[in-house]
Amino acid sequence: MEIIERFHPLNTLRPEEVCALAGISASGLAKIVKSGYAPPPIKYGPNCLRYRADEIAAWVATYRYGERRKKKRSRMARAPEA
């Protein structure tokens, strides 16, 4: 499947695939979704979650190269408390 087809708006991704794309663990993904920084999953049943591929592609681009880096820099820029 081509990369363009993979992120078609009608395609969905399993949580494992989202974790692999973002480079995070399953528990990390759950925390990020719960905090509202990642798109919410679609629930197809009690044990079936899927994420919209186009939303995840956009989020991963900002998460990997934008927001996460800013947070790391701001932590490093703080002066130690005396």
Residue 33 lies in a domain: yes
CATH code, domain carrying 27: 1.10.1660
Number of domains making up the chain? 1
Q: Calculate the average pLDDT of the chain.
A: 79
CB 45 within 8 A of CB 55: no
Domain coverage including residue 41: 3-77
Return the percentage of the chain with pLDDT > 70, whole number: 66
Q: How far apart are CA 78 and CA 73, in angstroms?
A: 9
Once rounded to an integer, what is the mean pLDDT over residues 7-27? 88
Burial class (CB in 10 A: 0-12, 13-18, 19+), 38: buried
Q: Which residues, including other chains, have CB under 8 Å from residue 28's CB and lie 6 or more apart?
A: 19
Q: How far apart are CA 24 and CA 27, in angstroms?
A: 8
